[in-house]
Amino acid sequence: MIEILNVLKIRNELLFYTGAVYAVMAVVCFVLVYAANTQVLGISAFIKPMKFYISSVIFTFTMAWILYYLNDSKLVAAFSWTLVVTLTFENIYISYKAFIGQQSHFNISTSFNSAMFSLMAIAITIITLFTAYIAVVFFTKDFPALSNSYLWGIRLGLVLFVVFAFEGFVMGAKLSHTVGAPDGGAGLPVTNWSKQNGDLRIAHFLGMHALQILPLIGYYLTNNAKITISMGVLYFLVTTAILIQALNGKPLIKG
């Protein structure tokens, strides 16, 4: 692990330190889950920022790792700074709303809350579109140092990340992530995914983390690009089926 972190620091110092700060904040939120009494929708208000910080660590470190292959310092710097600004803005606002015991997402109760929710949507749109451009670069450039299996894992991971990141706009349009009931019902441990109704967060989560899973499959589990592509297609179909299930108001695991 120490060796991997050292390589990350060499590959992208800005994203390495940004991810490290997010990791510290995730730990702070974890402590506050048990130390503070503030709740939102019936659970600790600090569960949500904790999950967002953890997700931000994973995304930041992943991009620090794969951007290195582009060998384009200007593009890497532009993407890195865009990621830092957009994710930090979102995480700070989510944390602030947790501290005051209010929802950050789907909250349009005041003009300020509505404006901030829109700004978060704009920020995520910017970084997602930029990630889509990075995907295009990985499809159009040659990477002779990478195996075809690993390269296709990166390519498809980026594509699925973009597709299911934009699935978040379905939740934004509904002002809710639960289908068939208001947000805030009984949920699975940690994730709080609904056990009674459809939950759009599940496909959102699984699809975006294809960015880690598919490259790992391509690097460690197979040396065959066709198998990696097949795994990517299967991953997409399963995640899409989970999304359709949620849209029909059915929970992934009924409890």
Q: What is the mean pLDDT of residues 121-127?
A: 96
Residue 130, pLDDT above cutoff 80: yes
For the chain, which residues make up each domain, given as ranges? 1-141, 145-255
- Are the C-beta atoms of 114 and 124 separated by less than 8 Å? no
* HSE of 250, CA atoms in CB hemisphere, 13 A: 7
Q: Residue type at 249?
A: G
DSSP character string of 240-255: HHHHHHHHTT--SS--
pTM above threshold 0.75: yes
Residue 255: its pLDDT value, please?
65
Q: How far apart are CA 86 and CA 57, in angstroms?
A: 14
Residue 253: its pLDDT value, please?
86
Residue 37 CA, distance from chain mean position: 27
Q: How far apart are CA 47 and CA 249, in angstroms?
A: 24
DSSP character string of 158-186: HHHHHHHHHTHHHHHHHT-SEESS-S-S-
Helix (H) or strand (E) holding 44: strand 43-44
